[in-house]
Amino acid sequence: MSVTGEAARDTARSGADVVKATELLAPEFAERAAEGERLGQLPADLFTKAQDAGLIDLMLPRALGGLELDPLTVVEVISTISAADGSAGFTILTLNATCYVAWLAEDAARTVLAGEPRAVATVFTPRGSAVPQDDGSLLVTGRWPFNTGCRNASWFCNGVMVLDGDKPAVVPPGRPDWRLVFAPREQCGILDTWDVAGLKGTGSNDTVMERVRVTPEFTANPIFEPPRHDGPLYRWSFFALMGVQFAGFPLGIARRALDEFVALAPKKSRGSKPLAQEQSVQLAVARCEADLRSAKAFVTDVMGAAWERTLRGDEMSMDDRVAVRLATGRAIRAGVEVVDTVFRLAGGGALYGSSPLQRCWRDINAGSHHGYFSEYHETRVGRALLGVPVPDPWMM
């Protein structure tokens, strides 16, 4: 029997508790993956169970009723969900961006969190424009694609550029006035655009706002400014926090795919002997296992070191930011390589809808297209390592 509501959140205050809650829900995420794909979103009742278990409170400040867990526990939770169902994992990791209310004043943050479902769907890319009004509010218009979990959310948090005439406004020390604006679902629209091959159950539809008035207390600058809540987690940069959200996704899916293939290989034959007895398959599995463990160890090492630094009261160093980007980038590349390898080795049977391997393959390749993993962003890491000035260090 599951625990619901505030009682569930009260019992999931430690990392061990929330890991246990995730493990208990994982079989249902797996069993209902096909249902989520048919619906084009995480089923509402299953999302409620996840919310009640604290799974979208992982990075939310304790002062606002969240869990405020350490990065490696967050990675473990997202990895476990993603292993069960990639779409569920991607939805949950994205809706953990609800933690961006940490940049709002407490009254505004509590207003956002009072929504039901108590989740915020976020697209930080500034696809909208915000026109300043005489009363200090912003008139927001825009369209944001890839708004994962939007049908499971009660508030939207969208990126905008504040305009000065017909150009982006510039604020000290010479950066664009790029903000996130928070608006309740009833002030926004959802366009049914999510007709895709992978991550079908995330409901990552386009959302729109048309001349929506947003008052200053519901705007934030998490990319450029520190949050209003202190604590080790909030001494991490905006994009490092994104790395915490994303790292577990490829590690979980790849673990599931490799385990599924290892279970399949003794039973499936290509010719006169099972796959498990073929030397080329043995070599491929050994290398996949090494690559996946290495990627996970890299994430653990990097995030563990950065966490220790912030526990001492320090801000993340640029070296920490570079390392987190490196580790999360390696996680997605290793994950894709592992899943591609075992999907190919499994043969034609992996194409059937009944095979977990086909969903792993579709989901991890779809997730690899997220902007966070793009080569465009990865080049900043290379610049930093080479000692070449990074033109926009706030993107690290």
Mean pLDDT of the chain: 93
Q: 206-244: per-residue pLDDT in tens?
A: 999 999 999 999 999 998 889 999 899 999 999 999 999
Q: 350-365: per-residue pLDDT in tens?
A: 999 999 999 999 999 9
Q: Show the 3-state SS of 74-89.
A: HHHHHHHHHHHCHHHH
Residue 95 has pLDDT above 50, yes or no: yes
Residue 8 has pLDDT above 80, yes or no: no
- Average pLDDT, stretch 178-193? 97
Confidence of residue 148 (pLDDT cuts 50, 70, 90): very high
Q: 34-73: per-residue pLDDT in tens?
A: 999 999 999 999 999 999 999 999 999 999 999 999 999 9
User: Cα–Cα distances in Å, from 230 out to 102, 125, 157?
Assistant: 9, 25, 21
d(C-alpha 187, C-alpha 218), whole Å: 13
pLDDT of residue 383: 92
Q: 338-350: per-residue pLDDT in tens?
A: 999 999 999 999 9
pLDDT of residue 4: 36
pLDDT of residue 374: 86
- Average pLDDT, stretch 146-172? 95
- Average pLDDT, stretch 367-388? 90
Confidence of residue 180 (pLDDT cuts 50, 70, 90): very high
Q: Which of 82-91, 268-277, 306-315 has the highest mean pLDDT?
A: 82-91
- Ranges 243-247, 286-290, 370-374: which has the least confidence: 370-374
Residue 290 has pLDDT above 60, yes or no: yes
Question: Residues 318, 283: contact at Cβ < 8 Å?
Answer: no
User: Cα–Cα distances in Å, from 197 out to 5, 201, 282, 364, 385?
Assistant: 34, 10, 30, 11, 36
Domains and CATH numbers, the chain: 5-102 (1.10.540.10), 120-220 (2.40.110.10), 236-395 (1.20.140.10)
- Average pLDDT, stretch 124-148? 96
Task: Return the higher-pLDDT residue of 10 and 239.
Answer: 239
Confidence of residue 11 (pLDDT cuts 50, 70, 90): very low
Nearest to 168 by CA among 179, 177, 159, 155: 177
Question: Residues 59, 66: contact at Cβ < 8 Å?
Answer: yes
- Ranges 13-22, 117-126, 322-331: which has the least confidence: 13-22
User: Cα–Cα distances in Å, from 143 out to 2, 163, 187, 366?
Assistant: 38, 16, 13, 21
Residue 271 has pLDDT above 90, yes or no: no
pLDDT of residue 330: 96
Question: Residues 248, 332: contact at Cβ < 8 Å?
Answer: no
Question: Residues 209, 158: contact at Cβ < 8 Å?
Answer: yes
pLDDT of residue 10: 43
- Name 65's Cβ contacts closer than 8 Å, sequence gap at least 6: 9, 57, 113
Q: Show the 3-state SS of the chain.
A: CCCCHHHHHHHCCCHHHHHHHHHHHHHHHHHCHHHHHHHCCCCHHHHHHHHHCCCCCCCCCHHHCCCCCCHHHHHHHHHHHHHHCHHHHHHHHHHHHHHHHHHCCHHHHHHHHCCCCCCEEEEEEEEEEEEECCCCCEEEEEEEEEECCHHHCCEEEEEEEEEECCEECEECCCEECEEEEEEEHHHCEEECCCCCCCCHHHCCEEEEEEEEEECHHHEECCCCCCCCCCCHHHHCCHHHHHHHHHHHHHHHHHHHHHHHHHHHCCCCECCCCEHHHCHHHHHHHHHHHHHHHHHHHHHHHHHHHHHHHHHCCCCCCHHHHHHHHHHHHHHHHHHHHHHHHHHHHCHHHHHCCCCHHHHHHHHHHHHCCCHHHCHHHHHHHHHHHHCCCCCCHHHC
pLDDT of residue 15: 83
- Average pLDDT, stretch 260-276? 93
Residue 5 has pLDDT above 60, yes or no: no
pLDDT of residue 13: 58
pLDDT of residue 375: 86
Burial class of residue 84, CB neighbours in 10 A (0-12, 13-18, 19+): buried
